Chains A and B, each alone.
Chain A
Amino acid sequence: MSIVTVQLGQCGNQIGFEVFDALFRDSHCSQGLCSKRDNEAYQASCRERFFREEENGVPVARAVLVDMEPKVINQTLSKAAQSGRWNYGQHTSFCQKQGSGNNWAYGYSVHGPKHEESIMNLIQTEVEKCDSLSGFFIIMSMAGGTGSGLGAFVTQKLQDQYSSSLKMNQIIWPYGTGEVIVQNYNSILTLSHLYRSSDALLIHENDAVHKICAKRMNIKQISFRDLNRVLAHQLGSVFQPTYSEDSSFHYRRNPLDSETVGQACLMPRIFVWSLSATNLSFYPQTGDLMEHLVPHPEFKMLGVRNIPQMSAASLAYSTFTWAGLLKHLRQMLISSAKMEEGINWQVRPPLSGLPPIGKASAHKEHHFNTSLANLVVLRGREVHSADVEGFKDPALYTSWLEPVDAFSVWKTQRAFDKYEKSAALVSNSQLLVKPLDMIVGKAWNMFSSKAFIHQYTKFGMEEEDFLDSFALLEQVVASYGSLGP
């Protein structure tokens, strides 16, 4: 089942490139720590999902690149072509000469309708090249103009045209002290529109990724490229193939073995693989991720955590145990920590009937993060011995959902990106409530003094739209708040 990626704006295109690169590099990594057969199946699954075959054998990413300025797209395309290992398709990009000026309304109301047909045609072409479409992965930022406004528009059109396909939006949460003055307006408009038309919002905060780069990766001069690589690493650890918990650890014998193809049969090789790839119970579908994490329409925000994260130099000298990794990951979840350093170990799950230790009113930092649903992905050596019982504790979850429904775990022996063991957590919990609340508050302050509103209203937006967005996001904050005891 294939995923079509739509890279929107400067941010979306740069990140998209790093994601494909990370996925490709990992799938061709020789230090997989698993059998050759498993490795081949892993590689093939990854390729079918994110790449397609071309005649010259170089895999082509299943992606559509959209930006209003040509500079970043050209850079992205040339970087991919230079690597020689994988490439973007020939006619899969769309750009114009003029940007959106960080104006959400310009992206949504002007660029969107004007270029709707060209962009949707590009996507349609890419979809037709998939044997089976699992869904769309849309990478965009929230604070700019193109990624946010045009991204919201495109997601809405995808909802109209491909209503039965899944959609996940990868959203970059801007720095708290960002450079764009109206980034809060752009953010709330984006979030509220996406909440209506997307299935899942996978959110990465620039501040958090920046800290990981500084503290864990020991990078002195942090560039956007470093941030994007960390991000791509986190996404890759979620999206690469795995076994799901209940499927068996056997899989069909490799049908590409030429002796099994009968002489009377005239089918070409590629077709045989397509038929059996869909029978592979090797990896769970994207639908599984959605079904386990975001079925409720009010709770669509997902956060990603991945440990361990360290520079390649330190990696060579480190060893890990599953017990240690999982303990840290669990505490990161409970205390809403962004990385594995500086975790607040004081926060504990509430005992049933008693209020949580460190009441929220007095110590905001000790607030216990109640989860709605969690997914843990474990990759690496001896993964069967990993004990995830700590995540099945009912105290971690909201009262109306049992841990058996709320928690799922995916495992594979195959190591990811040279990390001997790595654990990722995709969490639908109160992790993002505080940042969201802050952005809504700041935007409201600006709105109540009508600052910069004319920039938006002159492109067809109305104050009503702003009010609707505020109302929806307040509702989201309230819903997530009500999860806790």
Chain B
Amino acid sequence: MRRRRSRVEGAARALPEAVAALSRCLPAGPSPEIFRRAKFDRPEAAPVLWQLLLRVLSPLAANNTWTDLAPEAQACLVKSALGSQGYPRSVLLQFPDGSSQGSRELLLALSWLLARGPLLEQLLAQTRVQLGDQLPQWEAPTSPGPPAPFVEPKSPVDLRLVEWLMGRLRFRWRCLISSQQEQCILLSKIHLYTQGCHSQRSLGHLSVAETEMLRDPESGQQLLQALESENIRLEAALEWRRRELVFWQWMDTVLDTCSPETPAVTSQPTVLPAISEGGLGELESVKQELQALQEELREVSEPRRAAWEARVGGLGQGPEWSNSRKALQEAVQQELAALQGSWERSSTPGQPQRPHRLVRSKDGAPRPQGLQAAEVIRTLSAKEACLKKVLHQLQRQCQQELARLAGALPGLIWILPPEH
């Protein structure tokens, strides 16, 4: 009897501890009491949960300006973000913005996000304390983030104002590029000047954070505090992983308390990819088709290649051809890389890259781990070529569309902007 009671008591304690661990590792995590109130759909839990969802869903929520938004705007953003992630329950959308209803639905949304993907790991990665130097963000964000709240313009907007604003954006962009170049030059200087200062032989020089720590003890203290709080969150995350089963069992009960007439079929289709039933059979036929095409290509290309060789004959040899040959080879390699890149991109959608620390080392020194800068440059050039192709294609489409429109209205003279 006593063992069962202590087991029951242990079980009773497990849930609050699990929820506490969860809230410790979430950014601005609410107290476990909020979670309990949310199960019973209490109004005081709603605003807290709206804010939490906003922080969790928006990658830009690191700066506090988002939390200064009015509750209506916050609710709007959260709803649209959930929709773009494919959240199936439409009950949440029915609550008016800014009301304090629906805390239970918010709780369900949060646990859906937690269950669906590596949410905690992503959040923790976003707020990592960096000791080494990073390159500026060179992975395009895979999800565009919640769309900005739609503001109805008071009157028709003058086109010139739009052009003015576009111009300002372009200037800011150029300033950003200059600042990044400046950052690279200065980083390079720091690395050069602090060679031999680092205790780890493999790294060899200090990073900016480490240099700042040596220069200014206050910032060292701040760094220490940041690391300590990150440790707390990481430990909380580990604890959560051990205890989360209890939480999911409890969430099942929350789902059960929802009214049974909530529709299972949603108005918005989910965006999760579905593998069709006849998938395998289709793959086979596609493979056969591909092989047939390859055969055909080979048959067509061989005689043409032979004819070309016959015509060209001895040309193409000799020193004056070597430069042009090299240039041609490079161009072909770039094209191939671009083609490869466009194939590979569709297969690996946005795996989070492990952040790399920038280290400067002498040429030829053996580097057992990490990426070489040359490799990274190659990857980036390939991506650039690929994106340029896409841009040109889109521009051609635009031009064709403009030409079609110009043709459709005879009697109207179109003056297109000068080519750049």
Contacts and interface: CB of A to CB of B under 8 A. Distances in A.
A131 to B, nearest CB: 6
Contact of A287 (B166, B174, B182, B194): B174
B215 A265 contact: yes
Interface string A122-140: 0000000001111000000
Nearest to B418: A196
A176 interface: no
Given A165-B174, A285-B175, A400 B215 contact: no
Contacts of B193: 266-268, 271
A232 interface: no
A49 to B, nearest CB: 13
Dominant SS among interface residues on chain B: helix
Contact of B181 (A132, A274, A296): A132
A294 B160 contact: no
A296 B166 CA distance: 8
A193 B170 CA distance: 21
B189 interface: yes
A401 B165 CA distance: 10
B197 interface: yes
Interface string B214-230: 11100000000000000
Chain B contact-residue range equals 20 to 34
Interface string A401-427: 100010000000000000000000000
B10 to A, nearest CB: 52
A271 B189 contact: yes
A290 interface: yes
Contacts of A274: 186, 189
A132 B178 contact: yes
A262 B215 contact: yes
A453 to B, nearest CB: 23
Contacts of A265: 211, 214-215
A83 interface: no
Nearest to B175: A287
B215 A297 contact: no
Contacts of B418: 196
Contacts of A266: 193-194, 197
B182 A132 contact: yes
Contacts of A287: 171-172, 174-175, 178
Contacts of B190: 267, 271, 275
A1 B182 contact: yes
Interface in A130-185: 131-134, 164-166
A296 B185 contact: no
A256 interface: no
Nearest to B163: A296
Of the candidates B175, B186, B190, B193, the one having the most CB atoms from chain A within 10 angstroms of its own CB is B175
A275 B164 CA distance: 33
Contacts of A405: 164
Nearest to A402: B161
Nearest to B168: A295
Contacts of A448: none
Nearest to A199: B171
B179 interface: yes
A312 interface: no
B105 to A, nearest CB: 41
A196 B420 CA distance: 9
A278 interface: yes
Given A266-B193, A267-B193, A278-B182, A296 B174 contact: no
B178 A134 contact: yes
B197 A297 contact: no
A122 to B, nearest CB: 20
A393 interface: no
A387 interface: no
A268 B174 CA distance: 31
Of the candidates A133, A262, A267, the one having the most CB atoms from chain B within 10 angstroms of its own CB is A267
A20 B179 CA distance: 25
B86 interface: no
Contacts of A400: 158, 160-161
A296 B179 contact: no
Contact of B174 (A131, A164, A271, A275): A164
A260 B164 contact: no
A227 B305 CA distance: 71
A296 B167 contact: yes
Contacts of B168: 291, 295
Given A260-B215, A274-B189, A295-B171, A267 B194 contact: yes
A261 B186 contact: no
A382 B316 CA distance: 76
A371 to B, nearest CB: 13
Contacts of B158: 399-400
A362 interface: no
Interface in A255-294: 260-262, 264-268, 271, 274-275, 278, 285, 287, 290-291, 294
Interface in B177-224: 177-179, 181-182, 185-186, 189-190, 193-194, 197, 211, 214-216
Given A295-B167, A296-B167, A400-B161, A133 B178 contact: yes
Interface of B: 158, 160-161, 163-168, 170-172, 174-175, 177-179, 181-182, 185-186, 189-190, 193-194, 197, 211, 214-216, 418
Given A266-B194, A271-B190, 16 more contacts: A132-B182, A132-B185, A165-B178, A166-B171, A196-B418, A260-B216, A264-B214, A275-B190, A287-B178, A291-B171, A295-B164, A295-B166, A295-B167, A298-B163, A400-B158, A401-B164
21 contacts: A131-B186, A132-B179, A132-B182, A164-B178, A165-B174, A166-B171, A264-B197, A265-B215, A266-B194, A278-B182, A291-B168, A291-B171, A291-B172, A295-B167, A295-B170, A296-B160, A296-B163, A296-B164, A297-B167, A298-B163, A400-B160
Interface of A: 1, 131-134, 164-166, 196, 260-262, 264-268, 271, 274-275, 278, 285, 287, 290-291, 294-298, 399-401, 405
